[in-house]
Structure 1
Amino acid sequence: MHFALETLYVMVMSVYYTMEALIQLVVPSRRKSLAGDLVLITGAGSGIGRLMALELASMGARLVLWDISQEGNRETARLVKGKGATSVHSYLCDCSNKAEVYTVADQVKREVGDITILINNAGIVTGQKFMDAPDSLIEKSMEVNSNAHFWTYKAFLPAMIATNHGHLVSIASSAGLIGVNGLADYCASKFAAVGFAESVALELLATKKYGVKTTIVCPFFISTGMFDGTITKWPSLMPILKPDYVAKKIIHAIQTDQTYLYMPRSLYLIIALKNILPTKTGLLLGDYLGAFNFMDAFRGHGKRDSGIK
């Protein structure tokens, strides 16, 4: 296309898409039905994973639950059946183990069918300064929080591409958008998860697989236990998020094909400012928001958890 014509096209469409986004702030987007969809949730045995399963059960979705905790997964299965879910399948799976992911994925495809909505939710946090964190825990953070996304996509994306239908959901973190003092390995793993999900989304668009949707979720700290003890300087601006609220917002984002979901809403402005302000101004803003001290009182709960990002 001629340079002038292509430039004009971009300008016109930019105005159109901006107006469309503004209208959607006032007029709610239409929600697609999730009834009958086969949804796989990793880290379904507790926290946000369990809450999303409960939300989806009430919408008529068929559920495949993965977790490293058999007890937690069974409890989630029991709860979703109480919500009226008629198709629930739970599998023990360590998402940090590539071979195990592929093995269990093959079992799911044989026993249940092709996944239409994949929610990569499993996650862990070391919660230690970089120089204090054992190498084994750093490796585990990368394996669970980012590498596992590679293996689940490899396992379930081909069927979505073949039918040009599906939805990939990456539960990342605000720590995948901006570095946090005391979370070096966690931030690295979540930055990787965000970059990976964005790149796959572009591959799908480039190959015109418009029926396979993607959603990247980046919440601030959530009060489910994984980040126990973390503090926020200005709760009205950057609140510790409630689990029920987060789960509902994620499901709404899936129903409306929302590409990015940041929580709280103030995060959209903060990330924008980070990218345009001078470095020293950005650091001043980070200090004002308490970003250097989020982890000062971190306790965690001393074990792996998949319920908070």
Structure 2
Amino acid sequence: MQFFLSSLLLLPMLIICILESLLKLFIPKKKKSVTGEIVLITGAGHGIGRLTAYEFAKLKSKLVLWDINKHGVEETAAECRKLGAKAYAFVVDCSNREDIYSSAKKVKAEVGNVSILVNNAGVVYPADLFATQDPQIEKTFEVNVLAHFWTTKAFLPEMMKCNHGHIVTVASAAGHTVVPFLVTYCSSKFAAVGFHRALTVELAALERNGIKTSCLCPNFINTGFIKNPSTSLGPTLEPEEVVNKLMNGILTEQKMIFVPSSISFLTMVERIFPERFMTILKRKMNIRFDAIIGYKN
């Protein structure tokens, strides 16, 4: 009861914060400069990682590119150099903690201290729980979640020293709402979103407000990882559109970046509306994609 009464005293502050947020919607936020910043992107050999590297290259950042695919990451680095940026390609297995730590040491010795870390590497196995092999479950969490811990532990200390940096978590709309036949993927992305939110609060508690955090949560993207995706929420997103939103979010220091923005409304609705109604609503969304079904009735 005491907590409830004391919380009522915060009502004027709540109104002020709401008005402030509404006002910010109409005032474009100034974009920060990333010229000369050392940007490390995992999973940079293709898709979102590759296109994000190109955008940072255009802004004259220094690129450190990680991917398990040697040919892909070297292609990305070569294109970044054509765009006028310095780019360094490293073959790194983001499912391997020791490989991450040893590669991080090489980066510090050969390039310098990373000030923007984009944890983009990810894997997905569209299948029901029975058809998802145990090694696939382990791999999903190693790449989609644990790699974020290892890369952040490797590069955050130098950011802490100078109270300057940016940690970017590439998650998914599947980190806020769930669909069948992606149990492993959804679970890993919920963990990635939790990592972002907890890290954000921890940095504030440690008074390191100069280190920013952003989390990207897009709907289905046309990158080929999931075959034939469709939903009544709208067309499958093109990678260029998602990267454009991601870059804008990083440069304006947005905490959570939903693509499309309507995803944020859906996540709010899911917390408020009755479960039975949400079941009907999700049927209306008609989310479909090719998946392996191992359960036989």
Q: What TM-score bracket applies, with the shorter chain setting the length?
A: over 0.9
Deviation of 1:263 after TM superposition, in Å, equals: 0.8
Structure 1 residue ranges without an equivalent (≥5): 300-309
Residues of 2 paired with 1:298 and 1:175: CA distance? 16
Give the ranges of 4+ consecutive aligned residues of structure 1 lying more than 6 Å apart after TM superposition: 2-6
* TM-score, normalization by structure 1: 0.90
Is 1:262–2:258 an aligned residue pair? yes
Q: What is the SS of the residue equivalent to 2:212?
A: strand
Q: What is the one-letter code of the residue matched to 1:176?
A: G
Structure 1 residues 134, 4: CA separation in 2 closer, same or farther (over 3 Å shift)? closer
Is 1:20–2:28 an aligned residue pair? no
Deviation of 1:203 after TM superposition, in Å, equals: 0.5
Deviation of 1:179 after TM superposition, in Å, equals: 1.2
Structure 1 residues 8, 37: CA separation in 2 closer, same or farther (over 3 Å shift)? farther
Residues of 1 paired with 2:3 and 2:70: CA distance? 59
- What corresponds to 2:295 in structure 1? none
Residues of 1 paired with 2:142 and 2:24: CA distance? 37
Residues of 2 paired with 1:277 and 1:253: CA distance? 29
1:45–1:67: 8 Å Cα contact kept in structure 2? yes
1:230–1:298: 8 Å Cα contact kept in structure 2? no
Residues of 1 paired with 2:217 and 2:169: CA distance? 9
- What corresponds to 1:185 in structure 2? 184
Q: What is the one-letter code of the residue matched to 1:68?
A: I
- What corresponds to 1:224 in structure 2? 223
Q: What is the SS of the residue equivalent to 2:39?
A: strand
Q: What is the one-letter code of the residue matched to 2:186?
A: C
Residues 116-148 of structure 1: CA distance to partner in whole angstroms, max 9, x if unpaired?
000000001111111111111111011111110
Report the aligned-residue RMSD: 1.8
Please, which moves more after superposition, 3-12 or 135-144? 3-12
Structure 1 residues 210, 8: CA separation in 2 closer, same or farther (over 3 Å shift)? farther
Percentage of identical aligned residues:
42
1:238–1:266: 8 Å Cα contact kept in structure 2? no
1:204–1:210: 8 Å Cα contact kept in structure 2? yes
Residues of 1 paired with 2:162 and 2:3: CA distance? 36
Is 1:285–2:281 an aligned residue pair? yes
Deviation of 1:7 after TM superposition, in Å, equals: 4.5
1:115–1:156: 8 Å Cα contact kept in structure 2? yes
State the structure with bigger RCO (CA 8 A, min sep 6), 1 or 2.
Answer: 1
Is 1:118–2:117 an aligned residue pair? yes
Q: What is the one-letter code of the residue matched to 1:271?
A: T
Deviation of 1:298 after TM superposition, in Å, equals: 4.7
Superposed, 1:1-309 pairs within 5 Å as 7=7, 10-85=10-85, 87-232=86-231, 234=232, 237-291=233-287, 294-295=288-289, 297-298=290-291
* TM-score, normalization by structure 2: 0.94
Residues of 1 paired with 2:148 and 2:14: CA distance? 32
Q: What is the SS of the residue equivalent to 1:27?
A: coil
Residues of 1 paired with 2:22 and 2:150: CA distance? 37
The number of residue pairs the alignment matches comes to 291
Structure 2 residue ranges without an equivalent (≥5): 293-297
Residues of 2 paired with 1:274 and 1:99: CA distance? 39
2:128–2:291: 8 Å Cα contact kept in structure 1? no
Deviation of 1:239 after TM superposition, in Å, equals: 2.7
Q: What is the one-letter code of the residue matched to 1:212?
A: I
